[in-house]
Homo-oligomer: A and B are copies of this chain.
Amino acid sequence: MSQPKKRKLEPGVDGEGGEGAQEENGGEQETVLPRSRKTKKERDQQYYECYSDVSVHEEMIADRVRTDAYRLAILRNWSALRGKTVLDVGAGTGILSIFCAQAGARRVYAVEASAIWQQAREVVRLNGLEDRVQVLHGPVETVELPEQVDVIVSEWMGYGLLHESMLSSVLQARTKWLKEGGLLLPASADLFVAPISDQMLELRLGFWSQVKQNYGVDMSCLEGFATRCLMGRSEIVVESLSGEDILARPQRFAQLDLARAGLEQELEAGVGGRFRFSCYGSAPMHGFAIWFQVTFPGGDSEKPLVLSTSPFHPVTHWKQALLYLNEPVHVEQDTDISGEITLLPSQVDHRHLRIQLRYKVGDQEEKTKDFAMEEYLTVSA
């Protein structure tokens, strides 16, 4: 129990806990249906239930890189927040809403669709902020606010930035409730990609050749099987890398300005871009890592504040999203790697992230591989 476990978008045993959750689903045992037969509403309900449990909130708040970045960004924007109205989209336990009140906001609407809203209300009360922070239960798409707001704050980022598709809720809230020229916290997001040599994966693939020296049985023939199992799948793997795993200078391949008109449609159609790398040196290349950063306006005379999930920065609970090729490819110094990457919602469940990859390594022919996010859910208070 050293770490809260990763959450699944499909609520399992874990998703049922907490009194709030029971209230939400009326205490009835849900029947598991094939996903494709679920309505959007049913899938959304399942999604909200994932946030009814304590572990996901513990993981997010315990992520100091994340929570400190939001806290600092909110406090630095005190002059924009002071006496103003704020909408917190997906408020979770309400901590960001309280930061906004502490920064001087006159009125904060903390909107939360999952049963955790009840806990947020308790936290607001405990901190004596009932007069300034109003917790509203429901999806932000349908909730009614008494007024337009000056600021929208939201921690909407999922694995690979776009898993969970919560950004589209933020954008709808922006269109509906943010005053012209209002502030968005964060204001933009950038996506990065780099080719990788994953040292942990390398160890796991090499494991079978070590069995003989440990136990006197030659199991090296399982390396091919291990490669097919660990690399041959089309799932996006969420793991943390270190800087040494990166094989070339990372590149930004997409930039999302949250105030940009038409961004919602872009997300539906797929966001991404082309890349080209020149390798640092000789290594087995396993695929690509993608990660993101979000940027907050710096407030008065401050530099913008960046929350980064780069493998060169301290690890966050988002780690990195890894796209493995079907097998390792040997690269040398200056090997040319090029291609294109596109992030888009799954056709089966719009909350699930899909990634299309086209790539060419050295003289090899160009290949494509499509990926889907493992069931993991994360993040977003």
Contacts from A to B (Cβ < 8 Å): 1-2, 4, 12-13, 16-20, 31-35, 53-55, 57-58, 61-62, 64, 67-68, 71, 93, 95, 98-99, 102, 119, 122-123, 125-127, 198, 200-201, 204, 207-208, 211, 214-222, 225-226, 228-230, 232-233, 235, 237, 239, 374-375
Given A1-B239, A127-B217; 15 other pairs, CB 8 A cutoff: A1-B200, A1-B237, A4-B204, A17-B228, A32-B32, A54-B226, A55-B229, A67-B215, A68-B215, A71-B215, A71-B216, A95-B211, A95-B215, A95-B219, A119-B222
Tell me whether A198 and B54 are in contact in the complex, defined as CB-CB below 8 angstroms, given that A32-B34, A225-B119 are known contacts. Answer: no
Query: Could you say which of A54, A233, A239 has the most chain B C-beta atoms within 10 Å of its C-beta?
Result: A54
Q: Across the interface, which residues of B come within 8 angstroms of A208, CB to CB?
A: 58
Tell me whether A219 and B19 are in contact in the complex, defined as CB-CB below 8 angstroms, given that A32-B34, A58-B207 are known contacts. Answer: no
Q: Across the interface, which residues of B come within 8 angstroms of A201, CB to CB?
A: 1
Give the secondary structure class of A's interface.
helix
CA gap between A119 and B219 in the complex, in Å: 9
Q: Smallest Cβ distance from A31 to chain B, in angstroms?
A: 5
CA gap between A221 and B16 in the complex, in Å: 20
Asked whether, in the complex, the Cβ of B229 is within 8 Å of the Cβ of A17, the reply is yes
Asked whether, in the complex, the Cβ of B18 is within 8 Å of the Cβ of A217, the reply is no
Q: Smallest Cβ distance from A234 to chain B, in angstroms?
A: 9
Asked whether, in the complex, the Cβ of A95 is within 8 Å of the Cβ of B54, the reply is no
Tell me whether A218 and B13 are in contact in the complex, defined as CB-CB below 8 angstroms, given that A54-B226, A201-B1 are known contacts. Answer: no
CA gap between A57 and B198 in the complex, in Å: 21
